[in-house]
Amino acid sequence: MKEVKNIITIDGPSGVGKGTLAFSLAEKLGWNVLDSGLIYRLTGYLSLKEKLNSPEDIIFHLNHSKIKLLTNLKEKICEIEIDEVVLGNELRNEVVATKASEIAKVPEIRNAIIKIQRNAYDAKSGLIADGRDMGTVIFPEAILKVFLQASPEVRAERRANQLKEKGMDVIMHDLLKLIEQRDKDDMNRKVSPLKPAQDSILIDTSELSIKEVEEKVMENYKKL
């Protein structure tokens, strides 16, 4: 496969710092960001809100909606516009995430959103793609594939801080259990399980600052 020079993928479980790294690299390189988890969160949100119970209903809804991915590089957030309604914070809670992870096991749903994810790449701009299967399935042609890891406790603490910043109440013990269950589900599903691509670089971010992680990635990128 011919490598594409301006795509970097970042995969890994929740709370490893994928989003933060994606935006800091995007700023450095002047590229765009794809937060693929947000698309799965959208399916979770829609299924809860519109009471869509079957994969067919969810896919029908997705196919008949106008979906636009929005990246705000200045505020370092991604949002999704669906039929002219912008969703951001509504998607960032553990109820929606758990539903998203449940739906993400369904092959038909994954297939239905491949195109939305691949369309986020524009050869003129370059892309940092953040998710679970960016390096293995969606952008196997990426020039650099990064897989981040961190201990469950560190990840739960980071996720708790993100939720608290958004004014949400967090019970640490419950959050840790939810995160561990979601990662187990993501790693063990039959389609596109969470795993490092064979040619990815592995970085444990437990003891590293974001600056240090960014430096490690940039060192590897410059060697290419």
When asked if residue 133 is in the footprint of ligand C5P (CB under 6 A), the reply is yes
**Distance in angstroms (rounded) separating the CA atoms of residues 46 and 224:** 41
Per-position x/- string for 18-47, each x denoting binding to ligand C5P as judged by CB under 6 A, each - no binding? ------------------xxx-xx------
- The residues, ordered by sequence, that sit 6+ positions from 208 with a Cβ below 8 Å of its Cβ are 216
How far apart CA 25 and CA 29 sit, in angstroms, is 6
The minimum distance between CB 113 and ligand C5P, in angstroms, equals 9
AA letter at 122: D
Q: Is 203 in the site for ligand C5P (CB under 6 A)?
A: no
Instruction: Please report whether residue 158 would count as binding ligand C5P according to CB under 6 A.
Output: no
Q: Total number of residues binding ligand C5P (CB under 6 A)?
A: 15
Strand pairing category for 142-149 and 4-11: parallel
CB 44 within 8 A of CB 179: no
Site map 73..112 versus ligand C5P, x via CB under 6 A? ------------------------x--xx--x--------
| DSSP 8-state secondary structure symbol assigned to residue 141 | T
Residues of the shown chain interacting with ligand C5P in the complex, contacts defined by CB under 6 A: 14, 36-38, 40-41, 97, 100-101, 104, 131-133, 182, 186
